[in-house]
Structure 1
Amino acid sequence: MIQKTYLKTKDQCKVKFTVSIENAERVEVVGLNNDWDNPIEMNRKKGGTFETVQSLPKNTQHEFKYLVNGTEWRNEPEADSEVPNEFGGTNSVLTV
Structure 2
Amino acid sequence: MIQKTYLKTKDQCKVKFTISMENAEKIELVGLNDDWSNPVAMGKKKGDIFECVKTLPKNSQHEFKYLVNGSEWRNDPDADGETSNEYGGTNSLLVI
TM-score, normalised to structure 2's length? 0.99
RMSD value over aligned CA atoms?
0.4
- How far, CA to CA, are the matches of 1:86 and 1:37 in structure 2? 16
Aligned pair 1:93/2:93, yes or no?
A: yes
Note the alpha carbon deviations across 1:55-76, whole angstroms, 9 max, x for none.
0000000000000000000000
Alignment correspondent of 1:73: 73
Structure 2, unaligned runs of 5 or more: none
Structure 1 match to 2:50: 50
Q: 1:1-96 residue pairs with structure 2 within 5 A?
A: 1-96=1-96
Following superposition, the deviation at residue 22 of structure 1 comes to 1.2
Aligned mates of 1:22, 1:72 — CA distance in 2:
13
Note the C-alpha offset of 1:90: 0.2
Structure 1: any 5+ residue segments left out of the alignment?
none
The aligned length equals: 96
- Please give the TM-score of this superposition, normalised by the length of structure 1: 0.99
Q: What is the aligned-residue identity percentage? A: 72
Query: Aligned equivalents of 1:36 and 1:53: distance in 2?
Result: 17
2:3 counterpart letter in structure 1 = Q
